[in-house]
Amino acid sequence: MKAMITRVAMGLFLVLAWGCDDVQRSNQRGSGLKKKKKSAAAAAEDAEKRTEPIVYKDEDFIESIRNRDPFRSYTQAFRARPPAAMQRRVIMPTTTVEEMRLIAIVTGMPRPTAMLVDPMGMGHVVQRGDYVGRPKVIQATGAVSMTLNWRIDRIRDNEVVLTQQDPADPTRTALTKILKLNEKNEVATL
């Protein structure tokens, strides 16, 4: 029994010693065991590489397909967000065009003006080129969102013409809406 334990221990020792050896198996013709020997210069080079500090470049910190931040949350990338700030000055930004009423037009000057009233009874003076009304937020491409506003296109004797151009497709004809001046028989409440 003692002899058998000794044989098993010796066999185990040989297997472990053989696995830790610096021997490489070759898959070429005439394969056999070849010992890999390093020259003194190669050994010195390896030691120098181990002690050399790692130098990082700015490109190592730029996020790309190959270098992705594992702690970044990507849920925000797929959520449509309204624009951070208004892209232009909008008159009555919380009122829809349907809720606006045209109560006055001043013509006979180089830049005619008109007065629009919001549902609260507050009057606003507008000119040609002004943007009015609640913006419509659209998702253009990816996470980019744009606002569409109605613009005062023309001020005529008894009406104001509003247009809305889609910046994503400028070839499409602009939407047009006409606000008519209150007639004399209608009661204007301020």
* Three-class secondary structure of residue 101 per DSSP: strand
**What confidence tier does 8 reach under pLDDT thresholds 50, 70, 90?**
confident
How many whole angstroms separate alpha carbon 154 and alpha carbon 128? 6
Model pTM score: 0.51
The DSSP secondary-structure symbol of 78 reads G
Domains of the chain: 90-180 (2.30.30.830)
* Three-class secondary structure of residue 180 per DSSP: strand
Q: What is the pLDDT of residues 84-139, one digit of tens each?
A: 665 678 899 889 999 999 999 999 889 999 999 999 999 999 999 999 998 887 77
Instruction: Round the average pLDDT of the chain to a whole number and report it.
Output: 77
Q: What was the pLDDT predicted at 27?
A: 47
Average pLDDT over residues 6-16: 77
Q: What is the pLDDT of residues 124-177, one digit of tens each?
A: 999 999 999 988 877 766 667 777 889 999 999 899 999 998 777 778 888 899
Other Cβ atoms within 10 Å of 163 Cβ, number? 14
How many whole angstroms separate alpha carbon 3 and alpha carbon 149? 96
Q: What was the pLDDT predicted at 12?
A: 74
* Percentage of residues in the chain having pLDDT higher than 70: 73
Q: What was the pLDDT predicted at 33?
A: 44
Q: Please say if the pLDDT value at position 182 is more than 70.
A: yes
**What confidence tier does 2 reach under pLDDT thresholds 50, 70, 90?**
confident
* Three-class secondary structure of residue 170 per DSSP: coil
Q: Where are the beta strands (DSSP E) in the chain?
A: 23-25, 33-35, 90-91, 101-106, 113-117, 123-127, 131-141, 144-155, 159-164, 175-180
